[in-house]
Amino acid sequence: MKVGFIGLGVMGRPMALHLQRAGHELHVWARNPSRIGDLPAMVWATPAELGRQCEVVFTMITSSADVAGVALGAAGLSEGMAPGSVLVDCSTIAPEAARDIAARLGEKGIAMLDAPVSGGVQGAIDASLAIMAGGDAAVLERVRPLLDCLGKRIVHVGPNGAGQVAKACNQMIMVAAIEAVAEAMRLATASGVEAAKVRQALAGGSAASRVLDVMGERMVRRDFAAGIEARLHHKDFGLALAAARASGVATPLTAVVGQQLNALMAQGWGQDDTSSLLRVLEGA
């Protein structure tokens, strides 16, 4: 297939490469052309030009406004994509933004899936991402062979926006777990106990988790170089809290963890790893 990809960051680039290596003709556009580098792809000057060439376009960019601009703005995808083509947005954005963009694209006969992913940079590299899809089930089946190049678990959650709701839930659980690990490592150290040994002990019991394995190791080693930058989790928590407020749902734990992320950002650690929540506690 002729497949477009916009958003060639630490996750988007390996995702685009998986599609190209699977035999699909890859087309790209980047706001910052240096991101393209030696990627084996056809490069276009605008999203609209890219859209004219492709049956399916993937986006993996930061914010609701970014996705709306690329999809609907001047020289955006909607000005080039043909009726019957599909936009698969793997970004993490607000559910209502996903619904609005899908509706406006639908007016031109362009289908959209909101299909945010979980699994981090390593999941993108390993093509083992979890993909949470919102949109028409028939559209999902059309593009499933492409999604199979990217992930191991693909779940149709519901209509447009449902994928983004699922991603908000994912982030709530995951980052709360990072905060819990940070508090445990801080307690261990403050009690005069070696944090590495505590982590090793916990890994064999009911507290074992991927977050303890990965983030706990980073905390023990004090390796705060970004896997996924903390500013992105801060952005995601804003989306989750806004969705909860709109739905009238109480999320007290999420609100507290959100405040810890606010404190992390205030320390200037937004481009570091979210394991920096440990450093927030150390400065408390």
**Residues assigned a catalytic role:** 167
Helix (H) or strand (E) holding 146: helix 137-147
- Do 70 and 76 form a contact (C-beta atoms < 8 A)? yes
- Name residue 133's beta-bridge partners: 156
Residues 6+ apart with CB under 8 A from 38: none
User: What is the sign of the dihedral through the CA atoms of 278, 280, 283 and 284?
Assistant: negative
- Do 125 and 93 form a contact (C-beta atoms < 8 A)? no
- Do 19 and 146 form a contact (C-beta atoms < 8 A)? yes
**Tokens 């739905």, residue located:** 247
CB atoms near residue 203 (< 10 Å): 14
**Which of 205, 215, 131 minimizes the C-alpha distance to 175?**
215
